[in-house]
Amino acid sequence: MDEGIQVGEDIITNPDIQQRAQFVAANLANAILSDNEAMCAALTAYLANRLTDLRQVKINNTDGEISIELVFDEDYQKQVPVQFIH
């Protein structure tokens, strides 16, 4: 990443820590989707070591569109399904 990173068609020659983290999180999403456990472990270790305040990486895949949110102020809580009464 010292040589720069490619985001879409743009190349960022000197990415800051936030841009690097977004790049790594995007690669993490791809590793999860391709079931690459070794890459997932390496990428999560990278994020944990460099962003010690990071609490969650929220990855949402809706209709093939992936969104990524790095969360620093909210501890992880398991989502619970909501039962609606009709």
Per-residue pLDDT of the chain (86 residues; tens, 9 = 90+): 777 898 778 889 999 999 999 999 999 999 999 999 999 999 999 999 999 999 999 999 888 888 999 999 988 888 777 788 87
pLDDT score at 7: 78
**pTM listed for this prediction:** 0.79
- CA 43 distance to own-chain centroid: 9
pLDDT of residue 27: 95
Distance (Å) of CA 65 to CA 23, 27, 39, 41, 60:
16, 14, 21, 23, 8
Backbone dihedral region of 59: left (phi > 0), alpha (psi from -120 to 50 degrees) or beta? Answer: beta
Angle of helix 37-50 versus helix 17-33 axis, rounded to 10:
160
